[in-house]
Amino acid sequence: MIKFKEVYKTYENGTKAIRGINLDIDDGEFVFLVGPSGSGKSTLIKLITGEICATSGLVEVNGFDMTAIKRRQMPKLRRTLGVVFQDFRLIDKKTIFENVAFAMRVVGAPSKEIKARVEYVLELVGLAGHSDSYPLELSGGEQQRVAIARALVNNPSVIIADEPTGNIDPARSLEIMRLLEQINELGTTVLVVTHEKELVNRFAKRVVVIDSGRLIGDGVSGYYSYEE
């Protein structure tokens, strides 16, 4: 459950990135967040993950009040989230298995459980045979799937993906979206930021549109269009 109430975010340099956003995302939803470049999408995501804090208003994520959260509670909140970055952010010196496994080590899971779970999620994202490869030995699409596997491995209630398809070709992008859809069907809330209008229109999902830090549309894709 994600809740934004009259949220404003002004960066230190004075940029007003978010100007009065109200938004509710229920458990189990699949939501596309779209909008032109610089409209504040990444800022919105960072408010959810706790990388930055709102200037005013209320942000609530999985029961945590993000405007008042204690530093010590941050790890607890983040363990309920799975974050996928546009640039994958894999660790080049670790194998695919380790890249996914260390997210579980962070929470202190026992080795046996880690092995079983990592193998399961790697199979889910279609990378069963690549455990021992290194990130740079994989294609962009495959690397993105590793990032998704890592986001998934701790069974988070929400998956947040900031432009997960920004670096891969359209065919691969569709595949990634299908994968996220499949994950959503298993019960996880999914929030995807994307530029790709074509892609959004191939799914009948909720689409939230923002521009210049304001919410300018909220509806089901295919019915709603926006201009970049």
Ligand X SMILES: Nc1ncnc2c1ncn2[C@@H]1O[C@H](COP(=O)(O)OP(=O)(O)OP(=O)(O)O)[C@@H](O)[C@H]1O
Interface residues with another protein (CB under 8 A) are 49, 51, 74-79, 81, 83, 89, 91, 93, 102-103, 105-108, 110-111, 150, 154
Q: How far apart are the C-alpha atoms of 33 and 47, rounded to whole Å?
A: 14
Q: Which does 102 bind (CB under 5 to 8 A by kind): ligand X, Mg ion, another protein, none?
A: another protein
| Strand order, beta sheet including 30-34 | 81-84, 158-162, 189-193, 30-34, 206-211, 214-220
**Residues 27 to 56 in contact with ligand X, rule: CB under 6 A:** 35, 37-43
11 binds ligand X (CB under 6 A): yes
Closer residue to another protein (CB): 105 or 178 = 105
Q: How far apart are the C-alpha atoms of 68 and 60, rounded to whole Å?
A: 10
Pick from 39, 42, 165, 189 the residue near Mg ion by CB under 5 A: 42
Q: How far apart are the C-alpha atoms of 141 and 171, rounded to whole Å?
A: 10
Q: Which DSSP string corresponds to 35-61?
A: --TTSSHHHHHHHHHTSS--SEEEEEE
CB of 13 to another protein, least distance (A): 19
Pick from 6, 15, 111, 120 the residue near ligand X by CB under 6 A: 15
What is the Cα 163 distance to its own chain's centre? Answer: 8
Name 210's bridge partners: 215
Closer residue to ligand X (CB): 13 or 171 = 13
Closer residue to Mg ion (CB): 35 or 156 = 35
Closer residue to ligand X (CB): 35 or 156 = 35
Q: Which amino acid does the sequence have at 112? A: K
129 binds ligand X (CB under 6 A): no
Q: Which residues bind ligand X (CB under 6 A)?
A: 11, 13, 15, 17, 35, 37-43
